[in-house]
Amino acid sequence: MATEVSGVRSAGPVSRSDPAYQAFLLLRTVFTVAPVLFGLDKFANLLVDWPRYLAPWIDGIVPGTAQQAMYGVGVVEIVAGVAVAVAPRFGGLLVAAWLAGIIVDLLTIPAFYDVALRDFGLLVAAVALARLAAKYAPARGRAA
């Protein structure tokens, strides 16, 4: 029997005190809000000068300036955050794949190995979100 807690449909009974469910909600919230905020900042550069995080070889491949590439990155990040909010199982994997691309970019810029390592931790957390979503937010039509 499916139950619903805070708008999340689950395949079985869910308790708000369940640590795994709390972890799911925390990860879902963070991976919804953070990509949207960081995506919006790609248009304003308030937090950091984002184009400096674009590897020169990528800047040479994409058309336009590095800042224009960051506009595209911002759009993708906003879409990823919305995907996590709407479909966390898919959205978590989308964010993980996006972070894998960012890691490849950062590993080719020697000054940003520490940021790449941090993003690897985020990638693992995004995969954990997708796995938890399999239980706490199953795909529509799959829950009994």
Query: What digits encode the pLDDT tens for the residues 120-133?
Result: 999 999 999 999 99
Q: What is the pLDDT of residues 6-40, one digit of tens each?
A: 454 555 667 888 999 999 999 999 999 999 999 99
Which pLDDT band holds residue 44 (cuts at 50, 70, 90)?
very high
Q: To 10 degrees, what angle do helices 88-107 and 113-136 make?
A: 170
pLDDT of 9 reads 53
In this predicted structure, what is the pLDDT of residue 11?
A: 54
Which contiguous run of DSSP H or E holds residue 42? helix 19-44
Q: What is the C-alpha to C-alpha distance for residues 10 and 59, in angstroms, rounded to an integer?
A: 43
Cα–Cα distance measured from residue 113 to residue 111, given in angstroms and rounded to the nearest whole number: 6
Q: What is the pLDDT of residues 68-116, one digit of tens each?
A: 999 999 999 999 999 999 999 999 999 999 999 999 999 999 899 999 9
The pTM (predicted TM-score) of the whole model is 0.85
